[in-house]
Amino acid sequence: MGDYGTVLHSDGETWTPVYAGIADDLFAVWARTSDDVWAVGGSGWPVDPVGVIVHFDGQAWTVAKRGTMRLECVWGSGPTDIWAGGTNGEFQHYDGTAWTSCSGVTTETIVDISGTSSQQAWAVGSTGLLLSWDGTTWTKIPTGTGAGFSSVLAFSPTLVWAAGGNGLFFTWNGTAWNGFNIGQDYTVLGLWGEAAQAWAVGPSGSVLYFDGVTPAVKASGTTGLLRDVGGADADHVWAVGFNGIILRHRR
């Protein structure tokens, strides 16, 4: 996903451009299956109603909704439970039939969402925003920091990570959130992993590998900004960034 409706598809070896039928910037994508994929974004002033939600059904991309504030992230637990978040607390939920606005949760910008089920999810964003979902209500969690979170990753109900700028890093153990610093030199813009082993990417081509919660610096071969990372398993991990950067890691 990228600027001006850019959509790329990989068959495991080659990336191919796909026509999405829109010119809006796209910032995030969530795929449940190969024929149920959602992407969100928006072009223009973020606080204007420029947001867009698009869907791929295996055959074509179509616009599902317009008119929200710009959307930055999307995540779902299944086909009838999908969340999208964005500028000034913009929150949208999909129940399998329609997208509806969930107002009044926060006025901070939501930049990432992750969860384990329809009853448990987390969202993070600007000025230390950390929200917890219990299946009924989003609740703000005090973090004691004004620094912005940029990514959240839920491994299980008792293991969640949230990270951001200047070494900001929090972990959830099922009972409490604990914060510590992974090093001021590291800003995390994207997180992905499984079984407490994860990859983090950020500015200047930075790549960190976590075995547990101890980070190790890995060479990326680029100095460009890496915006996000995702994968299917430990042998198939992709990182993407500005100016068309696509990196692949194979164990």
63: domain CATH number is 2.130.10.10
Rounded to whole angstroms, how far apart are CA atoms 61 and 87?
24
Give the range of the structural domain holding residue 124, as residue numbers without chain letter.
3-249
Task: Mention every residue, 6+ apart, whose C-beta is less than 8 A from residue 141.
Answer: 130, 131, 132, 177
Question: Measured in whole angstroms, how far is the alpha carbon of residue 248 from the centre of its chain?
Answer: 18
Exposure string for 94-106, b = 16+ CB within 10 A, e = fewer: beeeebeeeeebb
| One pLDDT digit (tens) per residue for the chain, 251 residues | 788 889 998 887 788 899 888 999 999 999 999 999 999 999 988 889 999 999 999 999 999 999 999 999 999 999 999 999 999 999 999 999 999 999 899 999 999 999 999 999 999 999 999 999 999 999 999 988 888 999 999 999 999 999 998 889 999 999 999 887 777 678 999 999 987 789 999 999 999 998 877 788 899 999 999 999 998 887 789 999 998 899 998 77
Give the separation between CA 235 and CA 89, rounded to whole angstroms.
36
CA 179 vs. chain centroid, Å, equals: 20
Distinct helix (H) and strand (E) counts, the chain = 0, 25
Question: How many domains does the structure of the chain reveal?
Answer: 1
| Cα dist from 18 to 34, 59, 166, 232, whole Å | 14, 11, 36, 21
User: The pTM is what?
Assistant: 0.93
- Spatial distance between the Cα atoms of 76 and 160, rounded to a whole number of angstroms: 16
